[in-house]
Structure 1
Amino acid sequence: MTELIPGESRLPRDWWKSAVVYQIYPRSFADGDGDGIGDLRGIIDRLDHLKRLGVDVVWLSPVYRSPMDDNGYDISDYQDIDPLFGTLAEMDELIAAAHARGLRVVMDLVVNHTSDEHAWFEESRSSRSSLKRDWYVWRDPRPGFLGGTPGAEPNNWGAAFSGSAWAWDEATGQYYLHLFSPKQPDLNWEHPEVREAVYAMMRWWLARGVDGFRMDVINLISKDQAYADGPVPDGGLYGDNFKAVACGPRLPEFLKEMHTEVFAGHDRPFLTVGEMPGVTVELAQEYTDAANAELDMVFQFEHVDLDSGPGGKWDVRPLHLTALKASLGRWQAGLAQRGWNSLYWDNHDQPRAVSRFGNDDPQHRVRSAKALATVLHLHRGTPYVYQGEELGMTNYPFQGIEDFEDLESVNHYHEAVAHGADPERVLAALRYKGRDNARTPMQWDASAHAGFTSGDPWIAVNPNYVDINVAAQVDDPDSVLSHYRSLIDLRHDEPTVADGDFTMLLPDDERVYAFTRAHEGTELLVVANLSDDDGVAVPVDDAQAWSEAELVSTNGPVAQGDSPITLSAWEARVYRRSNAL
């Protein structure tokens, strides 16, 4: 077994409350062998960057063996590493090297579905009498369904990557369910042998030294069987059929069983994070309540859906700061007594935060990247830093559809245009919210391909890498990278950041994001002007006293003692005072 971090068994069970997680998208992080695709060797070689940044946990997007239909989220072997990324021996080396630096390693767990090339599915589809037939969700055709022709899909459920959620298998004469790509058939979690096989695989990884799992769309593993054979008004995955496929009635049971079978009885401090699109605050309370022994925290998507219109993700609408504060404030309040928040702006499925929530024009990029970081990291919850976020990396300047690699974006473009949509309007939405924005290579230095690879990168490097890169920022005290380091240090050193109460201020202000944190006689005031306007007054109570309090974080020069507190464009400050309660 890989050597563990010394003394970790003495950590409190909720150690992750004061931790910061760094997400790596392996194919775009660092290429160690020159083939243009990031790999484990590249990650090993760059671990010192993460150590210097100060993060506590490294989360790896999938590196398992895969046909790469969905860039690794279609897994054909859970207990092997895809040759694109390296070998099991290199994975062991990475875990050991991370542990030697005090970094924990969390792997992506993708068990709502497998690849259609997984041995389980190949056996399942071999015949209707296969012993693994019921490991997946199979249905007969529904003749005349919704007035259709004989042989129609079992119901009108839609897939996340466009089209029907049902794929026809000619050999056995049935449809199988795939809530994502047809090459990603859904496992049938109602079958106890499926769950036993998943738990065995998870235990195998823990024995190799893995410190926990981020669980991909884990709330989809329980489907509501009451809906299984009928239509829903809006068949799209992110429409009305979410009530059929997400947060089903057996989800708490499955999560409790997983905890018992995989994590209980260990003295190691594991981390379990459930990605749950569509989850409500009330359900998140249940899933992350420590007393229920289900998950440590969930990823919810409410705040990153605020710029989506009635037509869904690609129906882009303006994002209003008041709506953002209302959403994040509701989650802060809802999980204040029960449960825990995950805090993030960026991940591998979202566009770059500074291009979406900030302003990536050269005049404002650095200041707005720091302001967004300040607001996020001072909330109550565990912050996640996505690779390149700590540099203020931006969206890529995509031109045509040929520039996109992501299955979701490409499928949407062709389907929308085929149905008469204006190609330029479709491209505008893809440029703004497409997942490839997050997947361009990590920008290490100003050399060819940003120091990501000595070969030809699998996806184009953002041209602004010459100015935005690690080497340019690592020793610059005014850089975005240095600001992230200081915020991470503050979380580690100031208990109020991890443990304090949260109170939202100025909820109706369209420019200022302000809140307080309070814990055992210490109070923090966080104020940020999330706009291009200068001279924005912050009308908080006791402004004079606050303006004279200790300034523990700022992203620019400050006039100490200004009252009312007045902020320039994209300015953020954190004040601290003691014995305030």
Structure 2
Amino acid sequence: MRFDVPENAAGPADSWWSNAVVYQIYPRSFADSDADGVGDLQGIIERLDYLSQLGVDVLWLSPVYPSPHDDNGYDISDYQDIDPLFGTLADFDRLLAGVHERGMKLIMDLVVNHTSDEHPWFTASRDGGPGGDKRDWYIWRPPREGMEPGTAGAEPNNWESWFSGPAWTFDEASGEYYLHTFSRKQPDLNWDNPEVRQAVHAMMRWWLDRGVDGFRMDVINLISKDPALPDGIVPEGARYGFGHPYYVCGPRVHDYIAEMHREVFAGHPRRLLTVGEMPGVTVEEAKLFTDPSRRELDMVFQFEHVGLDQGPGGKFDVRPLKLTDLKASLGRWQTGLGETGWNSLYWNNHDQPRVVSRFGDDSPAHRDRSAKLLATVLHLHRGTPYVYQGEELAMANAPFASIDDFRDIESLNHYRDQIALGTDEAHILEGLRHRSRDNARTPMQWDATQHAGFTTGTPWIAVNPDHVDVNAKAQLADPDSVFHYYRRLIELRHTEPAVTHGDFHMLHPDHEQLYAFIRHDAATGTELLVLANFGPTDLTVDLPDGWEDSETLIANMPAAAPLTSPHTLRPWEARVHRRATA
């Protein structure tokens, strides 16, 4: 279906989402209305007023489709229904209506690099064998020549799955392997087949017709694979090859996303939001994806800044963050997409550990202050900020005691593989405590009661015991809470044009404790100065000229003294000042 009205081809800074804030909901951990221990759509409906009070503009739902839940719903078995675990389509329609009644929008998680192996498309592809009608909807290959099928090394290439182990699984019935860049229960779709693309487009239009306002597209830059499927380089000490060069931003990815835009979004009567999650994307690629004239996507999620505290051993090889690295990375993206394209701004999501534990200080003395500092720095950058559920409360990483406390497939696979290699268990668990995706997935902390008000049943994963002190009920009653600070930051983005439109200039890029920058909006003649002390000690800094009489726009601590140069910032202090330019 196409629409005849002219397409809105305005640039990013002119679009409704340029001064919007998005709130991500992980449904199974947000609010449980039926006491089965798993969050659901009715639970979200009951908390819409909370989200409205926070002031966010868009809700992004992680997957609520039918699924075997091998990867907590990112393995979808039916794209056009709701998993009974979460409710019904009627519940979804009520949720959507409630969101719209409150002046917010809702975007769905679109997971189309892969399906579940229980999706009818895949069962037809597998059961029909090499000559079946849907065989080419997925990526099937015979064993390596001369190798015994199903044995180690017989896989069509040596790629490693993102969830550990080989990226291929052998199907005995047909004598071939299918590709899965993630879990073996998440076979990759073959986007080179136009029937696959047409089916995906039809499904997307079905949701848009239902009233959703756009999509966050899971690992969308992985959909195009090098058809030769060559072996990847095997890193030293590894068992499998690094296949990313052959499918991260693959050969036809821009063609496929531009086609999706033409077939699904072009000329739609509502201006929709399209966000592409893109591991491994570069600034130059992101400019292409988000250039309005190319009509592909509105913005991308990039992962550069959340990989800066990883050692050579990968995400579970933890090293301290260097603030200079963080500034260099975020500054490069600010500059790179400053004239063309648009940034997504985030610290947290369902795949990342809690930022107050990661880049801040979650000790009682500094938890709230560092959470507010991190929010200040992020929300004052140019782009669209994303708040992950509980971030606005300074929710922290959980104290997982043993492997039995974890639920995430990536974490469990990593533990199993490292144990098999003889790695010390204590070392493995230390990495998981810092980096496991389960840190983001513990239940939302609504109050101080048992299970944090998330459920009256037994939660699917344990509640963080700190919910007795850190919860929404307490913070709503405290005007100086992290929640109310987020609310003020969101309001600032709505009301101060320099936050949306201003250019970006990093100050003191080589300083190891100070994060400082200026936003300048020529149209309004306004400048904003952002100062943040990323550390537990006082910090004295020299300021640019002319800021002594500037207005304090927002700060995470009461002013101890007028702004002068040099100025002393207290531990984890953040300040934003405004002045008019000549």
Residue equivalent to 2:526: 522
What's the offset of the Cα at 1:537?
A: 1.2
- On the 8 A contact 1:144/1:150 being kept in 2, the answer is no
Residue equivalent to 1:5: none
Residue equivalent to 2:41: 40
- On the 8 A contact 1:159/1:237 being kept in 2, the answer is no
- On the 8 A contact 2:235/2:241 being kept in 1, the answer is yes
Residue equivalent to 1:425: 427
C-alpha distance in 2 between matches for 1:9 and 1:63: 31
What's the offset of the Cα at 1:128?
A: 1.6
Structure 1 residues not aligned, in runs of 5+: 1-7
- SS of residue paired to 2:79: strand
Residue equivalent to 2:309: 307
Residue equivalent to 1:504: 506
> Is residue 402 of structure 1 aligned with residue 404 of structure 2?
yes
Picking from 434, 439, 447, the partner of 1:437 is 439
Residue equivalent to 2:542: 539
What's the offset of the Cα at 1:178?
A: 0.3
- On the 8 A contact 2:553/2:577 being kept in 1, the answer is yes
- On the 8 A contact 1:19/1:56 being kept in 2, the answer is yes
- SS of residue paired to 2:448: coil
Change in CA separation of 1:25 and 1:94 when aligned onto 2, cut-off 3 Å:
same
Residue equivalent to 2:347: 345
- On the 8 A contact 1:160/1:237 being kept in 2, the answer is no
C-alpha distance in 2 between matches for 1:145 and 1:220: 28
C-alpha distance in 1 between matches for 2:146 and 2:55: 60
Range 46-55 or range 309-318, more displaced = 309-318
- On the 8 A contact 2:514/2:533 being kept in 1, the answer is yes
What's the offset of the Cα at 1:80?
A: 0.6
Listed as ranges, the matches of 1:114-133 within 5 Å are 114-126=115-127, 127-133=129-135
What are the Cα deviations for residues 480-516 of structure 1, in whole angstroms up to 9, with x where unaligned?
A: 0010000000000000001100001110111110000
What are the Cα deviations for residues 445-493 of structure 1, in whole angstroms up to 9, with x where unaligned?
A: 1112111011111100000001101110113121000100000000000
C-alpha distance in 1 between matches for 2:563 and 2:142: 72
- On the 8 A contact 1:272/1:295 being kept in 2, the answer is yes
C-alpha distance in 2 between matches for 1:579 and 1:405: 53
Listed as ranges, the matches of 1:210-225 within 5 Å are 210-225=212-227
C-alpha distance in 2 between matches for 1:560 and 1:238: 58
Picking from 320, 331, 343, the partner of 1:329 is 331
State percent identity of aligned pairs. 66
- On the 8 A contact 1:9/1:267 being kept in 2, the answer is no
Give the aligned residue type for 2:521: H
- On the 8 A contact 1:322/1:508 being kept in 2, the answer is yes
C-alpha distance in 1 between matches for 2:225 and 2:534: 40
Residue equivalent to 2:85: 84
C-alpha distance in 1 between matches for 2:424 and 2:168: 28
C-alpha distance in 2 between matches for 1:238 and 1:370: 42
Residue equivalent to 1:248: 250
Residue equivalent to 2:3: none
C-alpha distance in 1 between matches for 2:298 and 2:356: 28
Residue equivalent to 2:72: 71
Range 344-353 or range 137-146, more displaced = 137-146
What are the Cα deviations for residues 506-540 of structure 1, in whole angstroms up to 9, with x where unaligned?
A: 10111110000000210000000010112x11223
- On the 8 A contact 2:278/2:301 being kept in 1, the answer is yes
C-alpha distance in 2 between matches for 1:119 and 1:300: 32
- On the 8 A contact 1:505/1:540 being kept in 2, the answer is no
Listed as ranges, the matches of 1:367-382 within 5 Å are 367-382=369-384
Change in CA separation of 1:575 and 1:386 when aligned onto 2, cut-off 3 Å:
same
What's the offset of the Cα at 1:38?
A: 0.2
- SS of residue paired to 2:211: coil
Give the aligned residue type for 1:78: Y
- Between the two proteins, the alignment pairs up a number of residues equal to 568
- SS of residue paired to 1:331: helix
Change in CA separation of 1:510 and 1:24 when aligned onto 2, cut-off 3 Å:
same
Residue equivalent to 1:100: 101
Structure 2 residues not aligned, in runs of 5+: 1-7
What are the Cα deviations for residues 272-292 of structure 1, in whole angstroms up to 9, with x where unaligned?
A: 000000000000000000010
What's the offset of the Cα at 1:316?
A: 1.2
Change in CA separation of 1:533 and 1:174 when aligned onto 2, cut-off 3 Å:
same
What's the offset of the Cα at 1:20?
A: 0.2
What are the Cα deviations for residues 258-303 of structure 1, in whole angstroms up to 9, with x where unaligned?
A: 0000001112010000000000000000000001000000000000
C-alpha distance in 2 between matches for 1:218 and 1:239: 22
C-alpha distance in 1 between matches for 2:309 and 2:147: 35
- SS of residue paired to 2:329: helix
Change in CA separation of 1:555 and 1:232 when aligned onto 2, cut-off 3 Å:
same
Aligned alpha-carbon RMSD (Å): 2.0
Picking from 485, 488, 491, the partner of 2:487 is 485
What's the offset of the Cα at 1:570?
A: 0.4
- On the 8 A contact 2:344/2:386 being kept in 1, the answer is yes
What are the Cα deviations for residues 146-178 of structure 1, in whole angstroms up to 9, with x where unaligned?
A: 9x9797000100101110000000110000000
- On the 8 A contact 1:473/1:482 being kept in 2, the answer is yes
Residue equivalent to 1:109: 110
* Length-normalised TM-score, structure 2: 0.95
Listed as ranges, the matches of 1:120-519 within 5 Å are 120-126=121-127, 127-144=129-146, 152-226=154-228, 228-234=229-235, 240-519=242-521
- SS of residue paired to 1:322: helix
C-alpha distance in 2 between matches for 1:539 and 1:428: 39
Change in CA separation of 1:374 and 1:237 when aligned onto 2, cut-off 3 Å:
farther
Residue equivalent to 2:5: none
C-alpha distance in 2 between matches for 1:163 and 1:144: 22
C-alpha distance in 2 between matches for 1:25 and 1:35: 16
Give the aligned residue type for 2:311: G
What are the Cα deviations for residues 41-76 of structure 1, in whole angstroms up to 9, with x where unaligned?
A: 000000111100000000000000000000000000
Give the aligned residue type for 1:540: L
What's the offset of the Cα at 1:238?
A: 11
C-alpha distance in 1 between matches for 2:152 and 2:99: 56
- On the 8 A contact 1:555/1:571 being kept in 2, the answer is yes
- SS of residue paired to 1:503: strand
- On the 8 A contact 1:112/1:220 being kept in 2, the answer is yes
- On the 8 A contact 2:159/2:240 being kept in 1, the answer is no
C-alpha distance in 1 between matches for 2:548 and 2:180: 56
- SS of residue paired to 1:508: coil
- On the 8 A contact 1:107/1:214 being kept in 2, the answer is yes
C-alpha distance in 1 between matches for 2:382 and 2:541: 22
* Length-normalised TM-score, structure 1: 0.95
C-alpha distance in 2 between matches for 1:117 and 1:153: 22
C-alpha distance in 2 between matches for 1:249 and 1:492: 39
Give the aligned residue type for 1:256: A
